[in-house]
């Protein structure tokens, strides 16, 4: 029996407690089967270079030409209408606003991520190293942004699902935690876990479910040992009023503020669309 999408779901006190205690919360199924299928087709189109409109994504990354390597791009919403519909979905915005008790939610940027299935090959090129998202986003005033990771197939550890470190959002920003692209999970765990309570929890999701994690929550993912790809669309969301912190760290979003960004300038133009406002 397929699950129904819960398009009218409201955050409960218990959901909020879970998010605040653990640093992440798993939603019910938010996307219906038609939308999941369209997003899977969007992946196929995107990876073959078939874009909506005449533009390009903000970034396109592939570790190397190895077909087993992780593929991802940032700001798929610039080049695919279905990704745009998903990462600007008012429901995702409202759930995030309720988790954060914020009045407005905007898109910081998105990611389209494809992790090939490698079966029993011994390679780490599909891994996502343990990291904190805010390790990349220190040019923003708010470490408490939220990443919404949406599964486009049932996802668990066999197909390289994410793991989160329970409660790690309470550790603050750990130096040099921008290690998404370091596939050596053991080395990173040893570095970050030292003297801390390191509890790994798998994010087990049905297709159309999402995990919402805090910008300081450590997370990463290992090999996809199946023979099918693991596909996802990810919306990184920020509360309204999130602004530029000058002189800390480079990020491609800074240039979207214009040629002379100013300390304290809100990320609040058309590159950062509003998903939800009270």
Give the chain's largest Cα–Cα span. Answer: 54
Distance CA 139, CA 153 (A): 33
Site for ligand AKG, residues 147 to 206, rule: CB under 6 A: 147, 149, 162, 180
- Closest residue to ligand AKG: CB criterion: 221
Give the total residue count for the chain.
278
Q: Please provide the DSSP assignment of 209-252 as one string.
A: -EEEEETT--EEE--B-SSS-EEEEEEEEEETT-BB-TTS---G
Minimum distance of ligand AKG from residue 54's CB (angstroms):
28
Instruction: Tell me whether residue 78 or residue 212 sits nearer to ligand AKG (CB atom).
Output: 212
Q: What is the dihedral of CA 82, 85, 91, 94, to 10 degrees?
A: 130
Distance CA 241, CA 118 (A): 42
Q: What is the dihedral of CA 123, 75, 105, 7, to 10 degrees?
A: -70
Instruction: Tell me whether residue 92 or residue 128 sits nearer to ligand AKG (CB atom).
Output: 128
Site for ligand AKG, residues 129 to 148, rule: CB under 6 A: 133, 147
Token pair in block for residue 178: 């921008």
219 binds ligand AKG (CB under 6 A): yes
Instruction: Tell me whether residue 191 or residue 261 sits nearer to ligand AKG (CB atom).
Output: 191
Q: Total residues at the site for ligand AKG (CB under 6 A)?
A: 12
Minimum distance of ligand AKG from residue 1's CB (angstroms):
28
Instruction: Tell me whether residue 108 or residue 149 sits nearer to ligand AKG (CB atom).
Output: 149
Site for ligand AKG, residues 55 to 114, rule: CB under 6 A: 111, 113
Name the site residues for ligand AKG (rule: CB under 6 A): 111, 113, 128, 133, 147, 149, 162, 180, 219, 221, 232, 234
């Amino acid at each position: 029996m397929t699950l129904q999408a819960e398009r009218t779901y409201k955050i409960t006190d218990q959901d909020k407690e879970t998010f605040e205690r653990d640093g992440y919360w798993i939603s019910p199924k938010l996307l219906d089967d038609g939308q999941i299928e369209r997003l899977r087709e969007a992946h196929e189109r995107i990876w073959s270079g078939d874009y909506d409109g005449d533009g390009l994504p903000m970034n396109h990354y592939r570790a190397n030409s190895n077909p087993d390597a992780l593929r991802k791009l940032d700001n798929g919403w610039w080049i695919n209408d279905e990704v745009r519909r998903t990462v600007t979905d008012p429901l995702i915005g409202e759930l995030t606003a309720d988790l954060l008790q914020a009045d407005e939610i905007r898109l910081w940027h998105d990611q389209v991520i494809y992790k090939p299935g490698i079966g029993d090959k011994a390679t780490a090129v599909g891994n996502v190293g343990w990291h904190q998202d805010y390790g990349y986003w220190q040019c923003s005033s708010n470490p408490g942004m939220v990443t919404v990771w949406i599964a486009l197939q049932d996802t668990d550890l066999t197909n390289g699902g994410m793991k989160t470190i329970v409660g790690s959002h309470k550790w603050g920003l750990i130096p040099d935690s921008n290690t998404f692209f370091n596939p050596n999970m053991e080395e990173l765990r040893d570095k970050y876990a030292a003297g801390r309570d390191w509890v790994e929890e798998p994010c087990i999701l049905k297709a159309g479910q999402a995990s919402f994690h805090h910008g300081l929550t450590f997370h990463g993912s290992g090999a996809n040992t199946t023979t099918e790809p693991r596909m996802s669309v990810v919306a990184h969301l920020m509360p309204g009023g999130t602004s530029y912190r000058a002189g800390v760290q480079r990020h491609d979003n800074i240039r979207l503020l214009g040629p002379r960004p100013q300390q304290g300038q809100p990320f609040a133009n058309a590159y950062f669309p509003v998903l939800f406002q009270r």
